[in-house]
Chains A and B, each alone.
Chain A
Amino acid sequence: MANHTNHSSHAESHGSLKSYVIGFILSIVLTIIPLVLVMNPLFSKTGTIIAIMIMAVLQFVIQLFFFMHIREGEKPRWNVQTLILGLVIVLTIVAGSIWIMAFNV
């Protein structure tokens, strides 16, 4: 269907219809599972929180690979490196804030 063998086009992201459809279906599944888990809880509260957070992170990874085509960059993948640095900063801010404010109680 979508022949993306057109070698020399750089400026746009690539990907095929198949990868978008797979990503879309996986995202829908990963949205429905947490919903079901919250509506009729199978696990304890902490268990559910951990499960739905894992689903959210999985869905983030799926969007990154199937929609944003993070694999298909040029030689040094500056975008991946920037993203990793950004995620380290975000994790530090979020985890650090929660941890330090836990002493407030």
Chain B
Amino acid sequence: MQQVANNHEHGHAHDHEHGHEEHEQLKVLGFWIFLVTDCILFGSLFATYAVLMHSYAGGPTGKELFELPGVIASTFILLTSSFTSGLAILAMNKGKVKELIGWLVVTALLGLSFIGLEISEFTHLVHEGATISTSAFWSAFFTLVGTHGVHVSVGLFWMVAIMLQLRRRGLTPVTRRKVTTLSLYWHFLDVVWIFLFTVVYLMGVM
């Protein structure tokens, strides 16, 4: 496979690297399959949470400790970051590397503030006496929400790495594919958060 290391390859260059593009297309499908398996991971954690939803063991309940304003803020932050990662894809389709990196920076900053809010929420919960070992409910809660938080954090490192690659190599079929899978991953995390927000927080405070 040849390496095309500049960002001016439009139109003609595509025919030559058709095999390469098909290969990248296959990798996107592979990533999609990973996302589906990740979906099953979260499905299992949701099932665990649903089963242990009321097992407080005499400890604090979610209703007592959840603070919706922070959670609502993080919901809109993640939703907006999902949107901006879409704008990054649009910039990429127009071939504008700088705009693409700019939107990725915005997305990463939003993701970072999401993680910040989550950390402060967890510290608050622990101070209130709800740790992962307090009760089955809190174990399920921290595992489910924490796994999502770890996914977002990993996504942040990945995003920085891709921004560096874009800066160094520009838009090539390979970096395009990487940005595509990254944005799929980011949308997926937003989808998982929608269900977390609904099942854990909204139903939790009802």
Contacts and interface: CB of A to CB of B under 8 A. Distances in A.
Contact of A12 (B14, B42, B44, B179): B179
B132 to A, nearest CB: 20
B30 to A, nearest CB: 10
Nearest to B47: A97
B26 to A, nearest CB: 10
Contacts, number: 143
B203 A15 contact: no
B190 A48 contact: no
B75 interface: yes
Q: Which 4 A-B pairs have the closest CB atoms?
A: A90-B43, A86-B36, A97-B47, A56-B198
With a 10 A CB-CB cut-off, give which of B32, B42, B179 has the most chain A CB atoms.
B32
A24 B83 contact: yes
Interface string A32-49: 001100100100010011
Given A13-B180, A97-B48, A56 B90 contact: no
B50 interface: yes
Interface residues of B, number: 58
Interface string B171-194: 001001101100110011011001
Given A31-B76, A63-B194, 9 more contacts: A6-B10, A13-B89, A20-B87, A24-B86, A68-B184, A78-B32, A83-B36, A86-B37, A93-B40
Interface in A1-26: 2, 4, 6, 8-17, 20, 23-24
B21 A85 contact: no
A67 B153 CA distance: 21
Given A15-B86, A38-B202, A31 B79 contact: yes
B75 A31 contact: yes
B72 interface: yes
Contacts of A6: 10, 93
Contacts of A11: 21, 24-25, 28, 173, 176-177, 180
Contacts of B191: 59-60, 63-64
A39 B83 CA distance: 26
B45 to A, nearest CB: 10
A62 B72 CA distance: 20
